[in-house]
Structure 1
């Protein structure tokens, strides 16, 4: 299995958890209206930070990758697959918050 397929599996699982959490939330429309901008900004920041710091870490030799398992698409020195894990975290964090929050009217 290549890193790209593994990354896509993680992204798919994260997206499914978020969709299930939103389906379960009775106030999903206001949540999506409130969240789209902060989540988009966080996603852009995560992508920039991943690109900068992964390029630095790869450049100084802290990390190496076997080319046989990579797609070959790179942003600088960073394989495109490296961006999947921060994106999965970005999807999972609000999903977990939704799944664990207390609903109004529930007992203490």
Structure 2
């Protein structure tokens, strides 16, 4: 099984939850803030993942089977490794939005 195939259901589930969160944000006229917060957090996660995965691979802490990756790499790190922070940011953004909507009186937040 490849890492891309292993990541696919998680990314799909995260996209569904992110979409539900986006629908809630749109109803609250908060979609721009929702998307920009996701974009900023995703960018930070991608940079940190790229830097630290390369450091850990270079230090010999772990590596990937060649038959489990696409072959495309950013330095030492396979590009599939970026799916985890993307899925995490999608999932957490959706959950945060839904929790904020549930917490606010009447489903609307003043924040």
TM-score range, shorter chain: 0.7 to 0.9
Alignment-derived partner of residue 37 in structure 2:
38
- The gaps in structure 1 that reach 5 residues or longer are none
CA apart distance, 1:35? 2.4
- The gaps in structure 2 that reach 5 residues or longer are none
* 1:66 and 2:50 matched: no
* 1:18 and 2:18 matched: yes
Distance in 2 of aligned mates of 1:68 and 1:18 = 31
Q: How many residues align?
A: 105
Q: Deviations for 1:12-63, whole angstroms, at most 9, x for unmatched residues?
A: 110011112333x275462211122232222111111111100000001011
Segments ≥4 residues shifted beyond 3 Å: 26-29
With normalisation by structure 1, the TM-score equals 0.84
Shift of the 45–56 alpha-carbon distance from structure 1 to 2, 3 Å rule, reads same
Q: Residues 22 and 34 of structure 2 are in contact (CA less than 8 Å); yes or no, is this contact kept in structure 1?
A: no
Distance in 2 of aligned mates of 1:92 and 1:59 = 29
With normalisation by structure 2, the TM-score equals 0.82
Alignment-derived partner of residue 86 in structure 1:
85
Root-mean-square deviation (CA, aligned residues, Å) is 1.9
